[in-house]
Amino acid sequence: MTDTGHLPAGPAGGSGGPSGPGTSGSVLSFPASRPATGRVLFFSDCHLGAGSEAEDRPREDKVVAFLRDEGPRADAVYMLGDLFDFWFEYRHAVPRRHFRVLNALAALVERGIPVTFFGGNHDFWVGSFLEQEIGCRVTYGPLEVVEQGRRIFLAHGDGLARGDYGYLFLRGVLRNRWCIAGYRLLHPDLGIPLARWSSKLSRHTRDESSFDVEWLRDQIAAPRFAAGCDAALVGHFHHPRHLRDEAGRDFLVLGDWIGNDTYAVLEGGAFRLLRWAGPAGAGSVVAAGARPGS
């Protein structure tokens, strides 16, 4: 995968996303450029900023430690959405609570490690700050990449499965430039707490009991396999799963950092889904079918 510094611009009008550069609604492919013996990290759904600062701090500590310990050993890092429980860039302000994790990401970029940020359903209002100030590459839609000879489909995962029509309508409203402009009129001291309250309400009303990873694989991974990919990775669903078929094609749901602390590693062309065991610890493999918190 060529290190372009940033992803190509989105549709005409200057922005692939809500308020800044990036890509939107398209699948991009990059040629492989890193060795097959390297190490690539994938994680998602940290939801930093959820709850009070006291409640959020232990999770932020884990994510910062993970980035500082695992990140420097990686050839590339992919964050597949919802790193933040809420993110919104005003013209002269960004949420202050995330300074330490932003610093850890900037440190990886300064080491020459490409970091790709996917906007999730909680942090899709990312503007230019992460690209211009931190150095991340930002995308607002799926990507197809080649790493270690593997052709990989990557996405946050929201809106990809059949039956998400109501959510797709709501997403279209929330990402509308006029809605964003109206929200920007709110002072950050009002707008940010309001968004965090809404995000918390959304999590408590979501039904997690009906998760079916095989149905999800058929919905999301199977079409990408038919198109030539041999791996598909998503976040969003918070249930860590790793399925591999007889043809050696992998489907991974990355889990989260709320109750699972899970991430995926690609080494030597093989994927593993691991649970973070702390700095310098050996991550434990998450067995296929493992349930959240197990």
Q: Which is nearest to 108 in space by CA: 144, 166, 67?
A: 67
Residues in the chain: 294
Q: Establish if 20 belongs to a structural domain.
A: no
Dist CA 176 CA 83 (whole Å)? 22
The range of the structural domain enclosing residue 189 comes to 39-285
Q: Establish if 92 belongs to a structural domain.
A: yes
Q: Establish if 161 belongs to a structural domain.
A: yes
pLDDT at 27: 53
Q: Establish if 1 belongs to a structural domain.
A: no
What is the distance between the terminal CA atoms of the chain, rounded to a whole angstrom? Answer: 34
| Maximum distance among all Cα pairs of the chain, rounded to whole angstroms | 54
| Mean pLDDT across 191-199 | 55
DSSP 150-174: EEEEEE--TT-STT-HHHHHHHHHH
Please state which of the ranges 126-130, 231-235, 285-289 shows the lowest mean pLDDT: 285-289
Report which secondary-structure segment, H or E, holds 285. Answer: strand 284-285
Q: Establish if 200 belongs to a structural domain.
A: yes
How many distinct structural domains can be found in the chain? 1
Q: Establish if 2 belongs to a structural domain.
A: no
- Name the pLDDT band for 287 (thresholds 50, 70, 90): low
Tell me the three state secondary structure of residue 91: coil
Q: Taking 80 as the threshold, does the pLDDT of residue 263 lie above it? A: yes
Q: Taking 70 as the threshold, does the pLDDT of residue 3 lie above it? A: no
Q: Establish if 83 belongs to a structural domain.
A: yes
Give the domain CATH number at 273: 3.60.21.10
Q: Establish if 244 belongs to a structural domain.
A: yes
For the stretch 54-81, pLDDT in tens is 888 999 999 999 999 999 999 999 999 8
